[in-house]
Amino acid sequence: MAVNNRSGDDSRFYIDGRWHDRAHAASIAVVNPYSEEIIGHVAAGSSIDVDLAVAAARRAFETFSRSALDERLALLGRILALLEERAELFAQAIAAEMGAPIGFARAAHVPFALAHVRAQMEVLQRYRFLSVEDGIAIAKEPIGVCALITPWNWPLYQITAKVAPAIAAGCTIVLKPSELSPYSAQLFAQVMHDAGAPPGVFNLVGGTGEVVGAALAAHPDVDMISITGSTRAGVLVAQAAAVTVKRVVQELGGKSPNLFLDDADFEQGVAKGLLAGMRNAGQSCSAPTRMLVPASRLAQVEALAATAAAGITVGDPRDEKTSMGPIANAAQYARVQAMIASGMEEGARLVCGGPGRPAGLAQGYFVRPTVFSDVTPDMRVAREEIFGPVLVIMPYRDEAEAIAMANDTVYGLSASVQSGDPERARRAAAQLRAGQVHINYPAWTSHAPFGGYKRSGNGREYGVHGLEEYLETKAVLGY
């Protein structure tokens, strides 16, 4: 595969250390969400492809699971160096396949993906795989063959969040990237090859979740499956995996609250909250899309939110001035438009945005940055994950009601608290049922564990907690 290939037809899978052409297989069209044109095709994998990849990973596990830490560190270092060297190729691929603005792809998608590799190298350098106390040895050993299913919204970022800890642990991998944003995954497979990953340690099989994902989840020789996707997809994977009692790690949907206490910095915080909710065109499972504010500050918050939304530049993702590109695919675009219509039908008050494309954009899956206010907890826009640039503002009477509203969701992936009083913010954070809580917009780090409560999934990614998902615990008595 030429490393400068960002689109076009690519019918190959990477299995057992080499590329395999599947030109005879059924193909899947890849659509550019800006032009709405087909820019290429990729092969739709089958259960036979899965069997080949899993068998290669199983063979490789015998040796790779016993590899020295220095060998795995060196491999991760070569992967990191190649990702850095090819950063622009990845940014261009991501802009083409899922519509991320090129500036955002360069500033966030790619560097955050690199950070996961760097973090696992840091963890690996200090992690104790064997500890002994009172005659009991606790050994942490690689779990085995890992199937990794990644989504279309953060394609490279989610690949490295799974592949890096699996490699660090000594596991072998079969990756199924989203068929809707496959080019960055193809580029990543070439990185793994060029970095010298031993044959079978990393394998890539593209295709649909219904075929390839289901085959991986049910495969008796897969020891663990890690999926990032919708809650519906996570449930199907868990059901299929249950038969063989494999470990399932899920990072699923979210409807994250952003709680403004009455002493928050509204002038700065509302704009930051809106932009956080609409980052990546709102296509982030942890996006803080429910803004909970004191009823007495509602008019101020609406004005601040409208001003911030007006500052978003929606347009061609290739333009460096663009801050929001299109929704990544047609199905998701239709979903977002339907949810905006639902908000209007159920009586939410439209502050800005609304249905249809922004003015001046006649093509592409573009959505107007939309803010609803006077949203009540029973409305669909308050309860369902929209996965688009839609923010709902929900007024509350007192802090107790605010906490109850924040937790009134089937999800629990992320939450945010804004307050001028650190102790008060910590007390509120302690009451929020979410796997990650942000106080006053802290800097992102690849070491903070990420994962959800309730229907947002189970297990954790990133840092040492992400590594440990790929390890089994063995106790040796009388050591």
Catalytic residue numbers, as ranges: 251, 285
Separation between Cα atoms, residue 29 and residue 267, nearest integer Å = 45
At 101, list the tokens: 């603005």
CB atoms near residue 380 (< 10 Å): 15
Task: Output the DSSP codes for 212-272.
Answer: IIHHHHH-TT--EEEEES-HHHHHHHHHHHHTTT-EEEEE-----EEEE-TTS-HHHHHHH
Q: Can you tell me the distance from the alpha carbon of 258 to that of 270, in angstroms, rounded to the nearest whole number? A: 10
Structure token pair of residue 128: 């104790």
Q: Which residues of 294-323 are buried (b: 16+ CB within 10 A; e: fewer)?
A: beebbeebbebbbebbeebebbbbeeeebb
Query: For helices 155-169 and 183-194, what crossing angle results, to 10°?
Result: 30
- Amino acid, single-letter form, for residue 181: S
Instruction: Tell me, rounded to whole angstroms, the distance of Cα 82 from its chain centroid.
Output: 22
β-strands 390-396, 370-373 pairing: parallel
Tokens 């690519």 identify what position?
10
Helix (H) or strand (E) holding 77: helix 69-85
Cβ 156 vs Cβ 110: under 8 Å: yes
